[in-house]
Amino acid sequence: MLPALPLDEAGRYVAAAYIVFVVLIFVYVAIMASKLSRIEREVVELADLVEARDRAAAAATEPERARETV
């Protein structure tokens, strides 16, 4: 086995290895977070679509109800 590196030199390598680990996890979580925000946007879109559909259905039934009361 080779002799141990001095602390100042070894420290850089150890820091680099741990930074690689943190960066990998950070990038993965960031990508997943962006996907999650896209899902959130789609949920809002779909909610708007459902609301618009309900309004259209309500508007279609309104004249019929008015005619019945007359």
Partner 1 sequence: MLTTALGLVFFYAPLDADQGFVQKIFYIHVPMAIVGLCGFVAGGICAVMHLRTREARWDMRSYVSIHLSIILAVGVLVTGSIWARASWGHWWVWDEPMLVSFLIVFLLYATYWPLRFSIEDKEKQARYASVFAIVAGAFVPLNFAAVRMAQQFVHPQTLATTTGGMPPKFALTFVVALAGITLMFITLCKYEMASKHATFRLRALRRRLAGDDDFAATTPLRSAAPQL
Q: What is the contact surface with partner 1 in residues (CB under 8 A)?
A: 1-2, 4-5, 7, 9-11, 13-14, 16-18, 20-21, 24-25, 28, 32, 35-36, 39, 42-43, 46, 49-50, 53
Closer to partner 1 by Cβ: residue 58 or 70 = 58
CA dist 12 and 19 (Å) reads 10
CA pair distance 46, 40, nearest whole angstrom: 10
Least Å distance, CB 68 to partner 1, is 29
Q: What SS3 state is found at 3?
A: coil
